[in-house]
Amino acid sequence: MVALAKPFQPVATGASLDIKGVSHAFDIDGSVLPVLDDVSISVAPGEFVALLGPSGCGKSTLLRLVAGLEPPRAGTLEEDGVAITGPYPSRVVVFQDPTLFPWRTVWDNVALGLEAQGVLKTQRHRVDAAIDLVGLGAFKKAYPHQLSGGMAQRVALARALVNDPRILVLDEPLGKLDSLTRITMQAELVSLWQRNGFTALLVTHDVEEALFLANRVIVFSDRPARVTADITVDRPYPRHRGDPHLAELRRQILGLLGLDATW
Amino acid sequence: MPTYSASEVASLRGDRETALIAGDGGLQFVSRLRFSITGVGAGLAWLAFGLSCLRWPDIGDWPRTEVVAYTAFAIAGGIAIATTAQAALGKFGDGVQRRAPWLFALGAFLTLWELSTAKFGWLPLPFFPPPQSIVEVYTDDLPKLLDSAFASVKLQLGGYFIGAAVGFLTGVSIGWSRLAGYWVHPILRFIGPLPATAWLPIAFFTFPSAWSASTFLIALATGFPVTVLTWSGVASVSSAYYDVARTLGARPSFLVTKVAIPAALPHVFVGLFMGLGASFAVLVVAEMIGVKAGLGFYLQWAQGWASYNNMYAALIVMSLLCSGAITLLFKVRDRLLVWQKGVVKW
């Protein structure tokens, strides 16, 4: 409840993210498969940036590089001007699958980061606060197999937020949810982002979702991914799905993705 | 006319029942008696067993026939009372009632056994001893049997725990470290599939005592399945779990102890279960061949005297111990793996 009791903090606690000339490739059966081709993106502190692109174009790979799970083949990534060399809890990833640890209760799952960093003993209240933040206070002792898909993904969000990330990396976190739960959680994501002020980097397939959430939408080409457009979404929050300005942007982005025939 | 919902009626009836019982014992107790066909049937089966012991003379010399008969009568009465007064006896009554069909089958089997061995000799003696001669072992040879059981348990526990611990650690290291895998895997493939009993002759010569040799062999039999399954458990942990833990700041030691091992535990328990079965086999063979104590030795000794009743008695004890060990293992597993859906109940 500590986090909720605090007054709204408009001051951005997010970090800046600089992706400079990053290229990446995979070796598959001896041949080299290029996935990222000279990608440069600069994200300001506290910005919400959505990455849109065709399926399999390499967006998720870019997120793995940002998280520090893999080093890029070429180029550099920097958090607040410091090179990213490995995973660090200031950059937390929420994956498409909640990947909760089935042998841990909701509380223990959320506590994972603090436990791994060895600060759980003094910081237990942060776990409770994070669980309350995503509205699952009544499920602290439940095991993951007892949760619905939406609840599990909320737990995954709480597990990320408990670390007070400066950059929250979201890899299609709502991709597998039903459409009603997705709409609810999109609104929750916006309010969490506004409340906590982190920098958010979201990969999604859903143009409407990108426009509903993000300050900027970056459109990628087919693999190997290159940045084909960088669109600023200059609309205030909370946004409305029926906003004609968003509809126009949506038409424009679908055109960039070669899907304008469906409009 | 008032209308009641089903639950209201039920609660009314419940209130009345408790009120009646609270009011005055004797008469109300009788009102709660229920006649149970299976319960009475089971009682009759045991009664038949007792009667079969007394009705005809034994064709051999078995001093415990009468004791067995009266015990059977007591059991018959106990079953009949427990099932009839089931409601008043609570959990115990329910338990007896639930097992009544089995108690019936057991009574019928004992009757048949009694008739075909002690009374009419349809089955050849001494290979098929009657129930009273097995009871006689438990009453007259109990200290020796208990000593043997105790020796077996001690030997088994020592070997099993050493084997399980070494197997678990080996499995985790080869599942986690490529270097450990490189060196240990070939050895495991070469030695593991060899039945542990094949080592018996060598082990009894090279080890200082039959006891230490048997402990080693039991540990070997346990260790192989535990190693392989722990290894496969650790190796099959989804890399997504490691990714999550690493982005949250986990160090390698955390990844092993808090991710790899808990994720592998269901496999580890399969290995522990298989190892338990394999180690029982080694235990008995080792006791029959080299160790001068234990239930295997008791079996061997009884065979030397052609006293088949002692062998059956030892087999029953052995079965109870092995089944008890597996029950215990499954209890531990259920405790540790509550997070799993639908674990098999033993």
Do B168 and B40 share a structural domain? no
What is the pLDDT at residue A109? Answer: 94
Q: How many A/B residue pairs have CB atoms within 8 Å?
A: 71
Residue B181 CA to chain centroid, in angstroms? 36
Q: What is the pLDDT of residue B346?
A: 57
Instruction: Kindly state whether residue A230 falls inside one of the protein's structural domains.
Output: yes
Reported as a single tens digit per residue, the pLDDT across B89-123 is 888 888 898 999 999 999 999 999 999 999 998 99
Q: How many CA atoms lie within 13 A of B1 on its CB side?
A: 1
Letter for the amino acid at B311?
A: M
B2 pLDDT more than 80:
no
Contact A143 B339 (CB under 8 A): yes
Whether residue B122 sits in one domain with residue B148: no
Note the pLDDT of residue B35: 78
Say how far apart CA B291 and CA B266 lie, in whole Å: 34
The Cα of A155 is separated from the nearest Cα of chain B by a number of Å equal to: 13
- pLDDT at residue number A103: 92
CA-to-CA dists, residue B77 to A161, B26, B296, angstroms:
66, 20, 37
- Of residues B14 and B37, more confidently modeled: B37
Residue A228, classed as helix, strand or coil, is: strand
E strand or H helix at A182: helix A179-196
Assess A112–B contact: CB distance below 8 Å, yes or no: yes
Provide the token pair at A225: 């991914």
B110 lies in the same domain as B230: no
Is A101 in the B-facing interface, judged by CB distances under 8 Å? Answer: yes
ipTM over 0.90: no
Return phi, psi of residue B226, to 5°: -65, -45
User: Under an 8 Å CB criterion, which residues of B touch A?
Assistant: 238, 240-241, 243-251, 254, 258-259, 262-263, 265, 337-341
Looking at the complex, does the CB of residue A22 fall below 8 Å from at least one CB of chain B?
no
Which of the listed residues B130, B150, B174 is the one where a domain comes to its end?
A: B130
Query: Under DSSP, is residue A26 helix (H, G, I), strand (E, B) or coil?
Result: strand
B25-33 LR contacts (CB < 8 Å, sep 24+): B29/B85, B29/B88, B32/B85, B32/B87, B32/B88, B33/B84, B33/B85, B33/B87, B33/B88
Range of the domain at B87: 33-130
> pLDDT of A3-38, one tens digit each?
444 443 444 488 888 888 888 988 888 888 888 888
The CB-side HSE value for A148 (13 A sphere, CA atoms) comes to: 7
| Residue in chain B nearest A142 by alpha carbon | B339
In a domain, B181, yes or no: yes
CB contact under 8 A, B238 and A99: yes
- CATH number of the domain within which A219 lies: 3.40.50.300
List, in sequence order, the alpha helices (H) in chain B.
Answer: 6-23, 25-31, 37-55, 65-84, 86-89, 91-114, 131-140, 142-176, 178-191, 200-206, 210-235, 239-247, 252-254, 261-289, 295-304, 308-336
**Are A115 and B263 in contact (CB < 8 Å)?**
no
What residues contact residue A141 under an 8 Å CB cut-off, 6+ apart? A105, A106, A107
Q: Distance of CA B338 to CAs A144, B201, B280, B343, Å?
A: 12, 43, 27, 8
CB contact under 8 Å between B243 and A159, yes or no, is: no
Let me know if residue A250 belongs to a domain. yes
Return the C-alpha torsion angle A2, A4, A8, A9, nearest 10.
40
Chain A CB contacts of B248 under 8 Å are 89, 92, 112-113, 116-117, 159, 163
Assess whether pLDDT exceeds 50 at residue B19: no
Q: Worst-scoring range by mean pLDDT, A5-9, B220-224, B319-323, B326-330?
A: A5-9
pLDDT mean over B34-63: 91
Do B67 and B160 lie in a common domain? no
- Cβ contact B244–A99 (<8 Å): yes
Touching check for A120 and chain B: CB below 8 Å?
no
CA distance A91 to chain B (A): 7
B255 and B235 co-located in one domain: yes
- Tell me whether residue A177 is in a domain: yes
Residue type at B175 in one-letter notation: G
B85 & B215 share domain: no
CB-nearest to B246 from A69, A143, A145 is A69
**Cβ under 8 Å to B: A residues 28-67:** 64, 67
- Residue A92, min C-alpha distance to chain B (Å): 6
Calculate mean pLDDT across residues B62-66.
91
pLDDT given for residue A263 in this prediction = 58
The verdict on a CB contact (< 8 Å) between B262 and A93 is no
Contacts of A117 in chain B (CB under 8 A): 248-249
Q: How many domains does chain B have?
A: 2
Q: Last residue of a domain, which of B89, B107, B130?
A: B130
Domain match, B152 and B233 both: yes
Check A93 against B251: CB less than 8 A apart.
Answer: no
B248/A113 Cβ within 8 A: yes
Long-range contacts, stretch A251-257, CB < 8 angstroms, 24+ apart: A253/A52, A253/A207, A253/A210, A253/A211, A253/A217, A253/A219, A253/A229, A254/A207, A256/A219, A256/A228, A256/A229, A257/A52, A257/A53, A257/A54, A257/A207, A257/A219
For B235-278, write each residue's pLDDT tens digit. Answer: 999 999 999 999 998 899 999 999 999 999 999 999 999 999 99
Q: Which among B249, B263, B265 is the nearest to A89, CB-wise?
A: B249
Q: Nearest C-alpha of chain A: how many angstroms from B51?
A: 56
B23 occurs within a structural domain: no
Amino acid at B8: E
Q: Taking CB atoms and an 8 Å limit, are A103 and B263 in contact across chains? A: yes
My answer on whether B102 and B165 are in the same domain is: no
* B-chain residues near A165 (CB < 8 A): none
Residue B209 lies inside a defined structural domain of this protein:
yes
Last residue of a domain, one of B106, B130, B154: B130
Chain-chain contact of B248 with A163 (C-beta, under 8 angstroms)? yes
Residue B10 lies inside a defined structural domain of this protein: no
Cβ–Cβ below 8 Å for B339 and A99: no
Residue B24 resides in a domain = no
CB contacts, 8 Å: B244 with chain A: 93, 95, 99, 101, 112, 159
A110 located within any domain: no
Query: Does B306 score more than 60 pLDDT?
Result: yes
Q: Give me the mean pLDDT over the B146-174 stretch.
A: 94
Q: B312, B177 in Cβ contact below 8 A?
A: no
B122 and B221 inside one domain: no
Contact A88 B249 (CB under 8 A): yes
CA distance linking residue A19 with residue A43, whole number of Å: 8
What is the domain count for chain A?
A: 1
B47 and B79 share one domain: yes
Q: What pLDDT is recorded for position B24?
A: 56
Q: Which residues of chain A have pLDDT under 50?
A: 1-12
**B155 shares a domain with B84:** no
In a domain, A103, yes or no: no
> Does any domain span residue B59?
yes
- Which one-letter DSSP state was computed for residue B61? -
The pLDDT confidence band at residue B8, using thresholds 50, 70 and 90, is very low
Whether B1 maps to a domain, the answer reads no
Q: Could you tell me if residue A173 is inside a domain?
A: yes
β-bridge pairing A82-83 and A227-232? unpaired
Domain of A180, in residue numbers: 2-90+165-262
CB under 8 Å to B279, separation ≥6 — which residues?
B156, B159, B160, B163, B218, B221, B222
Backbone angles phi, psi at B343, to 5 degrees: -75, 145
Determine which of B238, B239, B243, B244 to mutate to test the interface with A (most A C-beta atoms within 10 Å): B244
Minimal-distance CA residue of chain B relative to A87: B247
Q: Please give the backbone phi and psi of residue A93, each rounded to the nearest 5 degrees, phi first.
A: -105, 135
- Has residue B299 been placed in a domain? yes
Does residue A244 lie within any of the structural domains?
A: yes
Domain shared by B44 and B172, yes or no: no
CATH classification at residue B297: 1.10.3720.10
Q: Cβ–Cβ of A112/B245 closer than 8 Å?
A: yes
Residue B148 above 80 pLDDT?
yes
- Chain B residue with minimal CA distance to A65? B247
Dihedral sign of CA atoms B130, B135, B140, B144 in order: positive
Q: Is residue A164 within 8 angstroms of chain B, CB to CB?
A: no
Q: By the CB < 8 Å criterion, does A150 face chain B?
A: no
pLDDT band, very low/low/confident/very high, at B343 (cuts 50, 70, 90) = low
* Residue B165 pLDDT > 90: yes
What residues contact residue A171 under an 8 Å CB cut-off, 6+ apart? A60, A63, A93, A94, A95, A96, A203
